[in-house]
Amino acid sequence: MAGRIVVFGATGYTGRLTVEALIERGERPVLAGRDAARLRGLASELGSELETAVADVARPASIAELVGPADVLVATVGPFARFGDAAAEAAIAAGAHYLDSTGEPAFIRRVFERFGSRAAEARIAMVTAFGYDWVPGNLAGALALREARGAATRVDLGYFTTGGGLGGMSGGTRASLAGALLEPSFVWRDGIRTERAAVRVRSFAAAGRRREAISVGSSEHFTLPRLESGLREVNAYLGWFGGASRGMQVFSAANAAVMQVPGVRAGAEALIGRLVRGSTGGPDAAAREGTGSAVVAVAYADGAELASVEVRGVNGYEFTGRILAWGATAAAGGGLRGSGALGPAEAFGLDALEAGCREAGIERV
C-alpha cells in the first residue's frame, strides 16, 4: 500500500511548487506548516480538498505527528542549517521516508554524517538536496562515470543558469546562501575534507560558451564515490555568479579570516537574520520561463578527460518542485532501493533517475 506524502513547508515558495507538481501527478499531498489559515487558503486556492496539518520546528513533536511508517515527508523549510534538524529527526522517529530541498553544504554533511546511520537503523531512506541543488549534477556525474567504465579517478561538476540569470532568488534561497557563507564547506579527496567555499575557480564549456564557477560543497561529494570506488577526487562548482566568480573567491577568503575574530560571527549571523528573510516568495511563472539550467560533469583519469556529460532544461525552481514531486511519488509507491542517507542514483537507480529528471524538465543534450 502506498504511503501518504506530507509536504512540510507547503505554503513557502518551494513547498507550493512541490504541491502543485504533486497535484499535477494526481497525488493528494498533506499540506503542513505553522500557519493554519494559510494552509487552508492554499488548499482552497488549488481547488482540491487537501488535508492540512499544523506543525512547527519550534515544536518537534508536532512534526513527528505528521507521518507514520511508509509515509514520505518532504521538507522544504529553510534555511536548513537553522530549521532542518526537526524534520529529519521526525522522519527517523516515525519510520517515514524523507526528502528535502536544501542546497546548503553544512546541512547536507549533517544528513550523511549524523543522520545516515540512524536512518539505516530505522530502515528509512533519507535523500537530502533533492532539487536543482544537487540532483542534475548527480545525474550528469553518474552518467559520465558509467561512460568512463570504471577508469575515472576524478570528476568535476559545474552548475549554471541560462537566459536572464536566476529569474530572481526566493527569500529562502537568499537566506540559505547568506548563511552558507559563514560555514566551512568541504570537498572529496579520498574522503570528505573540510575547506572554505570558493577556494577554487574554474571554467567549463556549458550551454555553448565558457563559464566560470566557484567551488562549493554538494551532495555529489558524498554520493558519487559510492557509485565508483576508484574516485579519488570530486569537485563541484557553482556558476551562478558568472564574471563575479573571482570576486566571490576573494570575498570568501576575507570572510574566513574575519570570522576568526571573537564576536564577529555572532554579529554577522544577527545581521543576516535582520537583512535576509526566509520564505518571502520567488520568481513568478513568467520569470521562471525566461531562465534555464545547464549542468556539466567531466570524468578524468590522470588528468586525461574520459567522458563529458551535459544536461539542460528548465529553471532551477521549476525543476526542484517537479523532481521533489516525482521522487516523493516514487518513494510512496515503493520505488526506493535502500535505506540510510542515499544519493539520488542510489535511491532510485540511475535509469529511473534519468527518466525522472526528464519528466521534471532537465535531460541530457
Q: List pLDDT tens digits, range 287-327.
A: 788 899 999 999 999 999 999 999 999 999 999 999 999 99
Answer whether 294's CB lies under 8 Å from 207's CB: yes
Residues of the chain with CATH 3.30.360.10: 135-315
Spell out the residues 6+ positions from residue 250 whose beta carbon is closer than 8 angstroms to its own.
none
pLDDT of residue 241: 76
Name the burial class of residue 263, with classes exposed (0-12), middle (13-18) and buried (19+) by CB atoms within 10 angstroms of its CB: exposed
d(CA 314, CA 293): 6
Which triple of cell numbers denotes residue 37? 489559515
Give me the amino acid identity at 95: G
In this predicted structure, the answer to whether residue 255 has a pLDDT above a threshold of 90 is no
3-class SS of residue 46: coil
pLDDT of residue 264: 46
Ramachandran quadrant class, 181 (left: phi over 0; alpha: psi -120 to 50; beta: rest): alpha
Helix/strand/coil for 162: strand
What mean pLDDT is predicted for residues 78-101? 96
Give the pLDDT score at 12: 96
Q: What are phi and psi of 293, to 5 degrees?
A: -130, 145
Q: Does the 135-315 domain belong in CATH 3.30.300.90?
A: no
CATH 3.40.50.720 residue window(s) in the chain: 5-132+317-364
pTM, entire model: 0.91
Worst-scoring range by mean pLDDT, 60-69, 136-145, 233-242, 252-261? 252-261
The vertex-182 CA angle with 177 and 183, nearest 5°, equals: 95
The C-alpha cell that represents 32 in the structure block: 503542513
CATH number of 5-132+317-364, picked from 3.40.50.720, 3.30.9.10, 3.60.21.10, 3.40.930.10: 3.40.50.720
- pLDDT at site 243: 74
